[in-house]
Homo-oligomer: A and B are copies of this chain.
Amino acid sequence: MIGILNIAILGFGNIGSGVAEVLERNRTKIAEALGENVAIRYILDKRDLSDTIYGDRAVRDFDVILKDPEVSVVCEMLGGTQPAFDYSMAALRAGKSVVTSNKEVVARFGDLLLAAAKENGVRYLFEASVGGGIPLLHAFDDSLRGCVISRIDGILNGTTNYILTRMHDCASGFEDALQEARRLGYAEANPSADISGADAFRKICILAAMAWGGLVSGDAACCEGISAVTQEHNAFASRCGGTVKLVATAAREEELLSLSVSPCVVMDDNPLSAASGVFNAVKIAAGDLGDVMFYGMGAGKYPTASAVISDILAAAEKKASERPRLFTAYPYPLVDPAEWRTDYCLSVRCHRDALGERLPAYCVLHEADGVLDLLCEDISKKTLLEAMAGIEVLMLMRAVV
């Protein structure tokens, strides 16, 4: 007779209900993979679930879950930091593994939660918190862990990528594209965390911690959203041979860590340019392994639910990790965004002759009507702007080459 793995779902919104649905739909495949049936023993939600098939399992008191020794995995899909953090910590301390799709709580408290998991011999897993359904975080614990990672570039927010794709394809303005995203359910009623880049910033902080172990506490200085993007940016990017995308980048050289979220010119031959609409993609410079990229649905009920379920299976099979992952608090200041040496596209009104003495190296991508579109690689924004003193800079965007 096949065993039963009892789980509890905290939060029965879009993703929580998706987990229940996908567990039911893929019941046979999951039982085969795990050797046990997964049973939902409790669902914690403020809503009245008595009309649903889960009515008999609905609870409103988290203590019921905490005190039931039969529950071995708690799925936290509450969103926000509280009570998500308190519930997760209590569950770990009670010897239950916790899996989550909640990037806020991971980005803010991941170090504490991973430490608690280690102490209690259980798992804290959060594959679904970055890149939705993309099998990404597991790779850091597995195929990538012998590799020396130097840089991560990600299109990590489906809402903004949809808006920018729509602006590009339909030549629409930001507000129109946002309305369309809302209509299709790709943008929430209050999309400010998406639009401002804060959501992507949380996710790149999690990826940086996966790569290098140190969890950075938020730094808004590194974060620029998409609300100022216009058709002029699209036209400029197109002249440069790319498209505008909101790219989150983490780059590390020695002890220096740079983090940035900003609208960028992603060059057409960079594989990240393949991520359109609500798709996400993450490209990792993984030393000897070379560049690898992971692509998939960065959001959505079923992809995210599937990622949660892959964590449930991992937590069930390997209740305690032999070499548990820990995040430390990142001990150094981040590189000042203005000082970070990276790549830029800029549009300037000047003659070619005037450039040579100002810039050590550059590439002219387009020239018309006295306006030059340039690519300058491996330079800081500060140095670049100083070099351009007295020249009219019409456009300046980070480039992802």
Contacts and interface: CB of A to CB of B under 8 A. Distances in A.
Contacts of A297: 289-292
Contact of A292 (B142, B274, B294, B313): B294
Given A271-B275, A275-B271, A323-B35, A292 B146 contact: no
Interface in A232-282: 269, 271, 273-276, 279, 281
A22 B288 contact: yes
Nearest to A292: B296
Nearest to A306: B289
Interface stretch (A55-63, A95-103, A127-135, A357-365): A127-135
A317 interface: yes
B276 A274 contact: no
If over half of A's interface residues share one DSSP class (helix, strand or loop), that class is named, otherwise mixed; here it is mixed
A154 to B, nearest CB: 13
A85 to B, nearest CB: 25
A11 to B, nearest CB: 19
Contacts of A291: 296-297
Contacts of A300: 290
Nearest to A311: B143
A293 interface: yes
A295 B295 contact: yes
B135 A139 contact: yes
Nearest to A284: B296
A26 interface: yes
B310 A146 contact: yes
Given A127-B143, A142-B314, A313-B145, A292 B135 contact: yes
Contacts of A351: none
B302 A296 contact: no
A371 to B, nearest CB: 28
B293 A289 contact: no
Contacts of A302: 288-290
A138 interface: yes
Contacts of A286: 133, 306
A359 to B, nearest CB: 28
Nearest to A312: B146
Nearest to A268: B274
Interface in A302-354: 302-303, 305-307, 309-310, 313-314, 317, 322-323
